[in-house]
Amino acid sequence: MGGSGRARVTVRAELAMSTAESVGPVVRGRRASFSELFSDALRGTPCSVRGISPVDQLVPVHDWLRPASRADRHLLGHCRGATLDIGCGPGRMAAHLALHAHPVLGVDIVREAVEQTRRRGVPALRRNVFDPIPGEGSWDTVLLADGNIGIGGAPLALLRRSVELLGHNGRVVCDLGAPGTGLRIHAARLVTHRRHSEQFPWAEVGPEAIGPLAARAGLHVLHVHQQPGRWFAVLTR
């Protein structure tokens, strides 16, 4: 796929072909941006995601602020060499990789996430992944942890962008949904007790859906792994 303009066209096209699931009634309160509410969540304000499951899901910030868990470490054990952590959040994954001598760069659109990652001693950029990224075409691993294959509601566009970022022998390590998830596109929003965000597109990809998506992006499924409560895949060029 070509540059960032065509990537965004692909994102819009995928969303147009998908039926967004209902996010239920809009909560009362002031509207805010996604970045504002996600920043509040990273600072400790209880925040939920509405529209991905039938019941609002609390954003699991308490897990993200801790060191990498055993399940995280198992996933990260499949990262090779220089790793680009897309949607790095507060940086627990990137920090673990850096601790084990991986060159790593975190990328996130939320300033607070980038600042928290940097406070962990890890380089991070505030940037959209479809914008220019340092080292394009040379990364050994692209990491899409914590469901970040769903960013933008267009996993095919994101995987194609990952191929552009990878070196010749690079790989993608990505979390997946549970078996039976398939490919689902949602219109979600962040909600706190006083504010709510605009709807934003998000996707879920199950183990049975990752093979066809990977093939369309020019990737091959090397492994699909299961941990208690977690599935993830390793994709190679």
Strands 83-86 and 124-126, by their bridges, are: unpaired
Position 87 scores a pLDDT of 98
R_g (Cα) of the chain, nearest Å: 17
Please provide the DSSP assignment of 168-213 as one string: EEEEEEEEE--TT--EEEEEEEEE-SSEEEPPEEEEEE-HHHHHHH
CATH number at residue 146: 3.40.50.150
Each of the 237 residues of the chain gets a pLDDT tens digit; together they read: 344 444 444 444 343 333 333 334 444 569 999 999 999 999 999 999 999 999 999 999 999 999 999 999 999 999 999 999 999 999 999 999 999 999 999 999 999 999 999 999 999 999 999 999 999 999 999 999 999 999 999 999 999 999 999 999 999 999 999 999 999 999 999 999 999 999 999 999 999 999 999 999 999 999 999 988 899 999 999
Range of the domain at 115: 4-236
What is the C-alpha to C-alpha distance for residues 96 and 103, in angstroms, rounded to an integer?
11
Number of domains within the chain: 1
